[in-house]
Amino acid sequence: MTSATAPMVSLRDLTVTFTGGRAPVQAVNGVSLDVQRGEVVALIGESGSGKSVTLRTLLRLHPERRTRLGGQVLVDGQDVLALNPGQLADFRGKVVSMIFQEPLLALDPVYTVGQQIVESIRRHEPVDEAAARQRALELFERVRIPSPERRLAAYPHEMSGGMRQRAMIALALACRPQVLLADEPTTALDATVQIQILLLLRELQRELGLSIIFVTHDIGAALEVADRIAVMYAGRIVEEGTARELIRSPRHPYTLALLHGRAHGALPKGARLETIGGSPPDLSRLPPGCAFAERCRFAVEACREQQPAAVEIAPGHRARCLRTDATGNLQRTAQGR
């Protein structure tokens, strides 16, 4: 029996390598992360940093023939990497469920949204179609879809982007999962709908006591919903801490750059957002040292020669960097002005 104090999700030294191309691609490189019960953790970083790959590994959605997995993935005490196909089918949707980035592609276009939710419920629970349909209707009401009876009979293409995303959330919650994975759920939506979806997710999380892992490249979205934030770069977590701690005292140069690249209110006329120069490294040929060194203004020669260990900045706040002193001094100077 799992201890109530044990993390709901525990990743230990997770590695994900794709082998289908000319050279193996090390998409995730030794990620360790805990998500507590009822906690929201955001994974942030640029495209290609390993966020979505990490998320999909929790459901083992990668093609098995072309993927090598290493390390340990535990969800409520279950070893996900050891599940057989039958156990995995029971696990998906019932224990861990996922909100995909583009619901128009994730939902089946030839079935109504209501049919898809009813099928999911009946796959995992011994209920008849009428009871499953009633729950689907209640879920539509809970996620605030207008005219829910009529929308249950709609096909995905007949709904707006924001409404499809709400339907995707309803589908993800249909079998009462313990963990919800959200893979950039607001990327394709306009700003007003984005904030509505973020607030809805946070409200549902508090109401249902869900553990949520939220993937985004938008640090502003992460700050809206997350209790803790883990910053990923080149398949590694380079900084981790509470949302408040990371925004007040970022200590990895990459986190600092992400924050500086975010607009705070209206920019003055002619002003430009700061950008991160250079490009992310080739994941099939990672450098021996810090993968961010070639783009980092604080880098010294040692950064290019050795992989930095995690440095404890404060309880629960860690950064994988040799120059946390430089970023710390920069923050103290800025705060003193």
Domain ranges of the chain: 105-176
Tell me whether strands 9-18 and 96-99 are parallel, antiparallel or unpaired.
Answer: unpaired
The SS3 of residue 40 is strand
Burial class (CB in 10 A: 0-12, 13-18, 19+), 130: exposed
Residue 12 DSSP one-character state? E
pTM tops 0.75: yes
The SS3 of residue 167 is helix
pLDDT tens for residues 193-249?
Answer: 888 999 999 999 999 999 999 999 888 889 889 999 999 999 999 999 999 999 889
Dihedral in degrees, nearest 10, Cα atoms 249, 251, 252, 257: 40
Q: pLDDT category, 264, cuts 50, 70, 90?
A: low
Candidate from 46-50, 67-71, 329-333 with smallest mean pLDDT = 329-333
Let me know: does 238 contact 319? Beta carbons within 8 Å. Answer: yes
What pLDDT does 266 receive? 47
What pLDDT does 267 receive? 44
pLDDT tens for residues 88-141?
Answer: 999 999 999 999 988 888 999 999 999 999 999 999 999 999 999 999 999 999
Which helix (H) or strand (E) covers residue 158, if one does?
none
Residue 81 DSSP one-character state? G
Measured CA to CA in angstroms, residue 78 lies from 2, 69, 151, 214 at distances of: 9, 16, 36, 21
Candidate from 179-193, 196-210, 295-309, 320-334 with smallest mean pLDDT = 320-334
The SS3 of residue 9 is strand
| 114-117, long-range: CB < 8 A, 24+ apart | 114/151, 114/152, 114/153, 114/154, 116/171, 117/152, 117/170, 117/171, 117/174
